[in-house]
Amino acid sequence: MADRKKGLHISFEGIDGSGKTTVSTNLYLKLREKGYPCFYTVEPTFMRVGALIRLHASRIRNAPQYYLALLFAADRVEHYERIIRKRLEKGYFVISDRYVHSSIAYQGGLLNDPEWVRIINNRVPPPDLAIYLDIDPENALRRKKVSGPFEDASLLKKIRRVYMELVENGELVMVNAEKPLEEVLGEVTKIVESRLNLDLSS
């Protein structure tokens, strides 16, 4: 049984266009409806380093990945220390749209060096549960229709490959995000119930 006094951190992962925001928001609302104290957050953040990353992502397409990896890691330390840790100490469920596995998959995949990315992120603890929404990159690009820094099928394939390794080693729990939304939401609810020993049925 999970220690409720300590709170629980659930992160959502996936390539751009996998539906993370819709699915994570749905879980947040469901937990809130059940009366659990919960907090929703995203990475990159809107704090100091997060704002800098957002500027790079929108204006500078060729920023070196090593530099971006360090910025994402710095943003995460600030996120954890100033936001996540405090909420967990108060017993909240913290739902985050992206966390450490995004860096391992994106920067690790693009640099072909996930272990280095893991090392620079070892100042923050892993989440209690990380859910990965899997989608074929071509389908994700068709769904999203807007362009961002990593929206190229060959880059997304490299990123997906690392996510799959993280599923295989048990760090991520995979959900097929190509299924109809209601099914995806139902599967996510079941995973949260069984992994965290909760009852979210209405």
Query: Which residue, 36 or 66, is less far from ligand TMP as judged by CB?
Result: 66
The contacts of residue 30 (CB under 8 Å, 6+ apart) are 189, 200
CB 57, min distance to ligand TMP, A: 6
Pairing of strands 8-13, 173-176: unpaired
Q: Using CA of residue 104, residue 105, residue 111, residue 113, what is the dihedral sign?
A: positive
Q: In this chain, which of 44, 108, 109, 114 binds ligand TMP, going by CB under 6 A?
A: 44
Query: Which residue, 110 or 200, is less far from ligand TMP as judged by CB?
Result: 110
Residue numbers 66-105 binding ligand TMP by CB under 6 A = 72, 98, 102-103
Check: CB of residue 8 under 8 Å from CB of residue 95: no
Residue numbers 113-172 binding ligand TMP by CB under 6 A = 148-150
C-alpha span between 33 and 43 (Å, rounded): 24
Helix 137-144 and helix 153-168: axis angle, to 10°? 120
CB 9, min distance to ligand TMP, A: 15
Amino acid identity for residue 153 in this structure: A
CB 62, min distance to ligand TMP, A: 14
Total chain residues near ligand TMP (CB under 6 A): 13
- Taking each continuous run of H as one helix and of E as one strand, the counts in the chain are 9, 5
CB 155, min distance to ligand TMP, A: 10
Query: Which residue, 16 or 128, is less far from ligand TMP as judged by CB?
Result: 16
43 binds ligand TMP (CB under 6 A): yes
Q: List 8's β-bridge partners, or say none.
A: 93
For binding to ligand TMP (CB under 6 A), which residues are involved?
16, 43-44, 57, 72, 98, 102-103, 106-107, 148-150
